[in-house]
Each structure stands twice: as C-alpha cells, then as structure tokens.
Amino acid sequence: MVVKNLFASRLLGWFDAHARALPWRETRDPYAILVSEVMLQQTQVERVIPRWHAWLARWPTAEALAASSPAEVIVEWQGLGYNRRAVSIHRAARYVADHGWPADLTTLPGVGPYTAAAIGNFAFGHDVLPLDTNVRRVQERTGESFDASCAQALFDLGATICLARIPRCGECPLAAICLSRGRRYEPLRKQSRFEGSFRQRRAAALRAVAAGRDPGDDDAVAALVRDGLLTAEGGLPQ
C-alpha cells in the first residue's frame, strides 16, 4: 500500500505542475466531454481544440445537436477524418435528447467501454479509470494499476513522457520506482498511409458531395452509403 500511494502521489504531484491546459478539463458537462472524447479518438489534441470550441459554439447542448440534420453534422465534421464519428455523436445526442443520459453509458450509439468510462469519470464522478493506450502503457511498464483519480495525469504522462518507443525516463516522476526504467521498445506498427489510400478517396468523395459536386468515384460513394454517411441516392442524409 505504501508503494501504491507513492506511485499515485508522485504522479499527481507531477501533474499539478505539468498538466496540459485542455479546455474540456474545465467542464463537467457530459455532452461537451462526449464531443471531446470522440474527436480525440483519431485526431491530435492540437487539431481538436479549435474544432471542439467551434462545435460547442454551434451546438452547445445535446438537444441543439439533436435538432440538426445528419447532413449539417457531417459537413461540420469535415477535416477531422473518420466521419462515422460525426454520425455517432449525432445519434448519441438524439438519444440523450429523447431519454436523458443513461446509467449505462454504453447504451449510447457509438460509445464503447473507454468513452463510457471517460464520461463517467470526468462528468459524473464515477470511480472508474478510462483505459486508453497511454494509460495501459504506463500501467504495464510500472506494474501499477492506479485508480480513477489518476486518469488525467496518466493521459498526460503517457502522451508526453512515457512514450511508446523511447520513453523519456529522465523526466519521469515515476522513474525511481518504475520496473521498466531505461528500456526501449520496438517501433509500433504504423497505420497504413492515408495518401493514395481508399480512405483518402472516401474522404474526397464525401467532401465533394458536401460541397454539391459530383464525387466521381462510385466505389467510394458505395462505401459511404454502407456506412450511413450518404443516402442510397448518393446525397447527405437529412
């Protein structure tokens, strides 16, 4: 127990001095936190911050978003990638507008265990630790489980110090008691290139439709229809 408290106290002390200034950390609004968590799933923090502000300026509540059309949401999402995330947020907002926030947050469309844990912790104060890649990495390397109070600190440590391949052990507050101090790791398998990929063609086709142009790519359009991002007629869903 002494060691466990030492891990947490060192981590939280470091976080007090080095926490990233992220706007969604300044709210307990579950809707705002849902938007941030979904945007962050596949997009860098620096790109998310201005888009999160713009999204909430346009749709400040789940009810406001629910009243919009899928087409409006998809157009607003352009540039963030993985456009199905926009549809998921919209569907979740409509659920909340109709039924309120469920006790089991995975009931919400597109919300899995991690996002449910994040909303539960940061909005509702649930005693649950959201397990993303950064949190799992720190836990595996230290051999420590940590508790819900350490979530944001673990996010920042994993994102800035306990990096995937070459961790910055010399700057880590846990280095003196970490089982993996000084280790290096094999390169992670990289995601396939976006340039020239079918994902790029899909994104280009969706942008074209959103701008009122002919996408000129039947295969990409068919894939977008299967994902619910376009209608069977090739237009944005209304």
Please write the tens of the pLDDT for every residue from 212-233.
888 777 777 787 788 788 777 7
Structure tokens at 165: 């391949």
Q: Does residue 62 sit within a domain?
A: yes
Number of separate domains in the chain: 2
pLDDT at 229: 80
Which domain does 79 fall in, by range? 29-122
Q: Does residue 106 sit within a domain?
A: yes
Q: What is the CATH number of the domain that holds 117?
A: 1.10.340.30
Annotated catalytic residue: which of 26, 37, 72, 233? 37
Q: Does residue 128 sit within a domain?
A: no
Tell me which of 122, 154, 176 is where a domain ends.
122
Tell me which of 79, 106, 122 is where a domain ends.
122
pLDDT at 188: 58
C-alpha distances out from residue 131 to 76, 112, 176, 208, Å: 29, 11, 24, 37
pLDDT at 2: 43
Assess whether 171 carries a catalytic annotation: no
- Please tell me the distance from the alpha carbon of residue 111 to that of residue 113, in angstroms, as a whole number: 7
Low-confidence ranges of the chain (pLDDT < 50): 1-3
**Residue closest to 139 by CA, chosen among 128, 154, 127:** 154
Tell me which of 98, 122, 146 is where a domain ends.
122
**Residue closest to 24 by CA, chosen among 7, 1, 45:** 45
Any residues with CB less than 8 A from the CB of 11 and at least 6 apart, and which? 146, 150, 153, 154, 157, 173, 174
- Please tell me the distance from the alpha carbon of residue 200 to that of residue 193, in angstroms, as a whole number: 9
Structure tokens at 177: 């008691």
